[in-house]
Chain A
Amino acid sequence: MKKQSARLAAGATLVVALAALTGCSASASGGGSSSVTLNILDEFTTAPASPKLNELIKTYESANPGVKIVRTSVPQGQGVTKLTQGVSTGNAPDVVFFDSPNTQQYAAQGLVENLNSKVAGWATKSEYYKGAWDSTQYSGGTYGVPLYSDAPGIYVNQDMLTAAGISKVPSTWTELRTDAKALTKNGVSGLCFGTTPGAAADYLFMPYIWQSGGSLNTVATSALPSLQLFQALKADGSIPQDVLNWTWQDAFTAFQNKSCGIVFGGPWNAGDAAKLPFKVAAGIPPQKDGGTKASVLGGYNVGTGKGGNVDAAWKFIDWFTSKKVLASYLEATTQLPNRKDLADLSFVKSSPFLPTFVKSISIGKPRTFGAQLPQIDSAIMSMFQSVLAGKLSPTEAAKQGESAIGPLLSK
């Protein structure tokens, strides 16, 4: 028995010693500069974003010989699943590029680190526009820093508009309704957009709710005017039934096919819009006559995950968001800047559409609705779909929306 106890004790000591050594090694790799492996998770699977990120990673590795970067890329929208799986299986990434509206949800779920201590004296912080910086905040914490922003707008078939005797892009709700109705003929729908589940209803409809001067806390009244607008557009025959099962891309494809005269889109459509065989013009989301100017912000933030290498990850983020590096990334990917020191990028100036979307960003608000954003998004979508499908009146839909959204905002 004594011999057995002695063996057990020796074994236990060995295990403890090995664990301690492993712990030492992990802590050395976490904070030191000798040898660090940084795991990056992003949603940039296509060109030009994916190869540009690879190029910048190589540049960083060359400048920091002790750092090895392992990149995992998943298709857009699947980052959250991958991140959740990573955290749940103990393989969390160190650096995460994520959709900015997900910030509060990720923070509440404990998927990303609070960077308050890192950004406290960070000089770059003052360069960001308020809306973009606000998108990183949750319960007093800073969960990432903004990378780039986008905001919605409209594209119009200018040839169709001219043929209908209209000279300018609709900029108000009244003009939108009149123009969409004028374009609706011969199998063409005046206004198209996508509301399939997962189409980000908050991104689609929040500008119109905010323009009525309210917030999600008072949806029964603040959403009513915009619900009435979309009901009127549907009643005019300007909105096709297909919008209930269309994605944003489906709607833009219909615009490309000349099945739609006006389409809700974003800066990501600018490249395709420039190649169309008809004249296209862009505008910011039409504003409520006499209302508050508003648009909504999307885009990407970059934060640190729960991989255990916060210092090394922050060092990479600090480098990646430095003026020269980020400018090179934005130029290559034609993503729009959200800070003052990068306002004059050449690709924006030379585009016929992008300055419009920069203007939309300038009046954009972040979707900081708390940790229950997906449920809120679903409730907003239900509200508008119910009206578009003719299931509920705007008043009924707005009331139902408030009772669904109210409890979610307090969580």
Chain B
Amino acid sequence: MTPITSAAPIRANVRRLRRHGRLTGILFLAPVVLFLVGALGYPIFVNVRFSFTSTTAGTLLSGGPWVGLANYTAVFTDPKFLESAGNTVVFTVMSIVFQLGLGLLLAAFYNQRFPGATRMSSLYLLAWAAPVVATGAVFRWLYDRQYGVINWLLGMLHLTDGHTAWLSDTQFALGAVTVANIWTGVPFYVTFFLAALKNIPEQVHEAASMDGAGAIRRFVSITVPMLRPPLLIGGVFGIIFTLKAFDMIWIMTRGGPLGSTETLSTYGYNQFFTFFQFGAGAAVMNVLLVVMIIVAAIYLRVSRGEES
């Protein structure tokens, strides 16, 4: 008897939902919710749990003993973590500023009408589409102290002695890796901003020209303000992608020399897969996650403000 009596309220609820047209909405939402819970929510939950336990490879399934904030304390008091955090900030800020800046300038350039502009701008995507492994390996050779093109060029122009150890000198390594990362990211922003620029009505520029505004004035006063939404989206996405960047650094320097190119991604990876400190590794990844959530929240707040 119980099943019949318990089914009745459910049917009533379904009827009520149908009446209000909400059932369709719920059904449409269900796949997304299931995906978010299963593919994102669960791993995040496991990672948060790890960060509060002393987990070894043998207890990955069963779960290690609870250690409270010990992993976070260990990570925050590790000078290497602080150095990695500093490197992450430098790497991210420099990458984003130059990727967005150069991307915008190049997009503005290719938005002009001249023969081959469209084809040339499309070619940029090849650099973005190239596998990071290949790009990283090529940059390693470009930066080579003895045989690298960069040293050859700088030496020929008498700008340096032509023997700078770009990736082996703690002074230059982070800058060298950042430049490689900027080079990889610029083509994406060129394409991204070019699409946005096409949406700015030509009449606006024409009207400004008639009012006597020069090219720079039009770029600063019309183009940039009208590109605020794509700049915001590009910036947020860029920050999130760059914070997570791992492959380029790993291929070029593996975080060395002496931790000078270690970022939170490589630091966290080493905690997990080199040192087997699963709790500490999870704590680092959670710190990164919180930072990314904050960035995303700021974006949502700003974009809501723009909409209203």
Interface residues, chain A, with chain B CB atoms under 8 Å away: 1, 80-81, 83-84, 87-90, 105, 108-111, 187, 195-198, 240-246, 259, 306, 372, 374-375, 378, 382, 385-386, 389, 391
Q: Are B275 and A245 in contact (CB under 8 A)?
A: no
Give the number of A-B contacts (CB < 8 Å).
Answer: 89
- B56 near A110 with CB under 8 A, answer yes
Stretch at the interface among B26-34, B36-44, B162-170, B195-203: B162-170
Contact across chains for A385 and B274 when beta carbons are under 8 A apart: no
Using Cβ atoms and an 8 Å threshold, which residues of chain A touch B56? 108-110
Give the shortest distance, in Å, between B33 (CB) and chain A (any CB).
26
Residues in A with CB closer than 8 Å to B255 are: 197
Q: Does B145 contact A (CB under 8 A)?
A: yes
Further 13 A-B residue pairs, CB within 8 A, beyond A197-B255, A374-B274 = A84-B57, A87-B58, A88-B61, A105-B276, A109-B58, A187-B146, A195-B256, A241-B145, A242-B165, A245-B173, A245-B253, A374-B276, A385-B256
Contact yes or no, A109 B146, CB < 8 A: no
User: Quick one: CB contact mask for B54-86 with A, threshold 8 Å, 1 for yes?
Assistant: 001111110000000000000000000000000
SS class, residues of chain B in contact with chain A: loop
**Using Cβ atoms and an 8 Å threshold, which residues of chain A touch B276?**
84, 105, 109, 374
Beta-carbon contact of A87 and B167 below 8 Å: no
Closest CB in chain A relative to B59 CB, distance in Å? 8
Residue of B nearest to A390 (CB): B170
What 10 pairs between A and B have smallest CB-CB spacing? A110-B58, A88-B60, A244-B257, A241-B165, A244-B168, A245-B168, A109-B57, A197-B254, A84-B57, A245-B167
Contact A198-B274, Cβ < 8 Å, known A240-B145, A244-B258: yes
Q: Specify which of A1, A108, A198 is in contact with B2 (CB 8 Å cutoff).
A: A1
CB distance from A206 to the nearest CB of B (A): 18
CB contacts under 8 Å to A, within B127-152, are 145-146
Partner of A245, one of B59, B61, B257: B257
Interface presence of B273 (CB below 8 A): yes
24 residue pairs bridging A and B, Cβ less than 8 Å apart: A1-B2, A80-B273, A81-B273, A84-B57, A105-B276, A196-B253, A197-B255, A197-B256, A197-B270, A240-B145, A240-B165, A241-B165, A242-B145, A242-B165, A243-B168, A244-B168, A244-B170, A244-B256, A246-B168, A374-B275, A374-B276, A375-B275, A378-B275, A389-B257
With a cutoff of 8 Å between Cβ atoms, the chain A residues found around residue B61 in the complex are 88-90
- Cα–Cα distance between A242 and B173 once the two chains are bound (Å): 12
* Interfacial chain B residues near A1, Cβ < 8 Å: 2
The interface residues of chain B lying within 8 Å CB-to-CB of A88 are: 57, 60-61
Binary per-residue interface labels of chain B (163-199) against chain A in the complex, 1 for a CB within 8 Å, 0 otherwise:
0010111100100000000000000000000000000
Q: Are A245 and B258 in contact (CB under 8 A)?
A: no
Contact partners of B146 in chain A: CB under 8 A:
187, 242, 259
Contacting residues, chain A, for B58 (C-beta < 8 A) = 87, 109-111, 306
Inter-chain CA distance A155–B167, complex, in Å, is: 25
Measured between beta carbons, the chain A residues less than 8 angstroms from B145 are: 240-242
Whether B57 contacts A245 by the Cβ 8 Å rule is no
Residues in A neighbouring B169, C-beta threshold 8 A: 241, 244, 389
> Which residues of chain B from 235 to 282 have any CB-CB distance to chain A below 8 Å in the complex?
253-259, 270, 273-276
Given known A-B contacts A88-B61, A389-B170, A196 and B254 have beta carbons under 8 A apart: yes
Interface residues of B in 103-157 (CB under 8 A from A): 145-146
Given A1-B2, A109-B276, A374-B274; A386-B168 close (CB under 8 Å): no
Q: How far is the CA of A365 from the CA of B170 in the complex (A)?
A: 33
- The binding surface of chain A is classed by DSSP as helix
Q: Name the residue among B56, B146, B258, B274 with the largest chain A CB count within 10 angstroms.
A: B258
Chain A: CB-nearest residue to B165: A241
B256: A residues at CB distance < 8 A: 195-197, 244-245, 385
Smallest distance from the beta carbon of B184 to chain A beta carbons, Å? Answer: 19
- Please, which residues of chain A bring their CB within 8 A of the CB of B273? 80-81, 84
Chain A: minimal CB distance from B286 (Å): 19
Q: Shortest CB–CB separation between residue A375 and chain B, in angstroms?
A: 5
In the assembled complex, which residues on chain B have CB atoms less than 8 Å from the CB atom of A83? 57
Interfacial chain B residues near A187, Cβ < 8 Å: 146
User: Nearest residue in A to B256 (C-beta to C-beta)?
Assistant: A197
Contact of B258 with A389 in the complex, beta carbons under 8 Å: yes
Q: Which of A83, A241, A243 has the most CB of B within 10 A?
A: A241
Q: Across the interface, which residues of A come within 8 angstroms of B165, CB to CB?
A: 240-242, 244-245
Distance between Cα atoms of A198 and B2 in the complex (Å): 64
Complex Cα distance, B165 from A80, in Å, reads 32
| A197: chain B residues within 8 A (beta carbon) | 253-256, 270
Nearest B residue to A388 by beta-carbon distance? B257
Q: Which A residues lie within 8 Å of B2 (CB)?
A: 1
Q: Which residues from A are CB-within-8-Å of B258?
A: 244, 382, 385-386, 389, 391
Decide yes or no: A110 and B170 within 8 Å by CB, A244-B257, A245-B253 being known contacts: no
A87 partner residues in chain B, CB cutoff 8 A: 57-58, 60
CB distance from A3 to the nearest CB of B (A): 11
Smallest CB–CB gap between A362 and chain B, Å? 31
List the A side residues contacting B167 at CB < 8 Å.
245
- Contact call B170/A84, Cβ cutoff below 8 A: no
* Min CB gap A55→B, angstroms: 31
* Complex CA–CA separation, A335 to B66 (angstroms): 45
Q: How far is the CA of A80 from the CA of B57 in the complex (A)?
A: 10
Cβ-defined contact, B57 with A241, below 8 A: no
Residue of B nearest to A109 (CB): B57
Residues of chain A contacted by B274 (CB below 8 angstroms): 198, 374, 378
